[in-house]
Amino acid sequence: MKIIDITQPVSVTTAVWPGDQPFELNWTMQLARGDSVNVAALTMSVHTGTHTDGGYHVSRNGTRAADLPLPAYIGKALVVDARGRAVLDEDVLRDVDLKTHRRILFRTREHINPSEFPRDFLSPTAELARRLVAAGVLLIGSDAPSMDTVDSKTLDSHHVLADAGVAILENLVLSDVVAGVYTLIALPLKLIDADSSPVRAVLVQGSIEE
């Protein structure tokens, strides 16, 4: 069994969506100050680094983070190499059997620098999102920071996916991942009322054993 960590590291240097809450780490207790333990306190957006978007992110009646269906985040996933494309449209699925693959992860970039927000990134078109929904896909993920363009105001792809209950993963790190089939594990935190949640996402090659 091989575990591939596809999660962005989170620190004070982690780039966030323009205008979002920067990551902060403070210490409420420290051994160096004479306390009996070290205890860190975090201030961060739930969209920091690798995360899942809940439906409430784009809809008043959408699913909150604590209620996201966990089975979508565990299981067989297909990594699709979409590097070099000008647009992430239905053509990317030309060689994909959607009857077999119900979790799709798109690699769109060569390398990920978590400290730099990419101004130019690929996001799935609304037509691609609708195709995935119609095929019964459970989850769609990407190494981009959003399912819509950075300047989108209508968030069409987000709405198509969220309205259908398709799980969304963003800011994955797929730089060293070869296209193919893996086992995905990327569970959201049980955050009551939050719209979305950070995840620790991994891909597993081989059998999962004790």
Strand-pair partners of 170: 51
Active-site position among 47, 57, 101, 158: 57
DSSP SS3 for 53: strand
Classified as helix, coil or strand, 76 is strand
* Maximum alpha-carbon separation in the chain: 61
Measure the CA–CA gap between 45 and 173, rounded to whole angstroms.
Answer: 19
**Alpha helices in the chain, H assignment, sequence order:** 126-134, 156-163
Candidates 160, 187, 145; CA nearest to 59 is: 160
Sign of the alpha-carbon dihedral angle for 107, 111, 114, 116? negative
Specify whether 47 is catalytic. Answer: no
Active site residues: 57
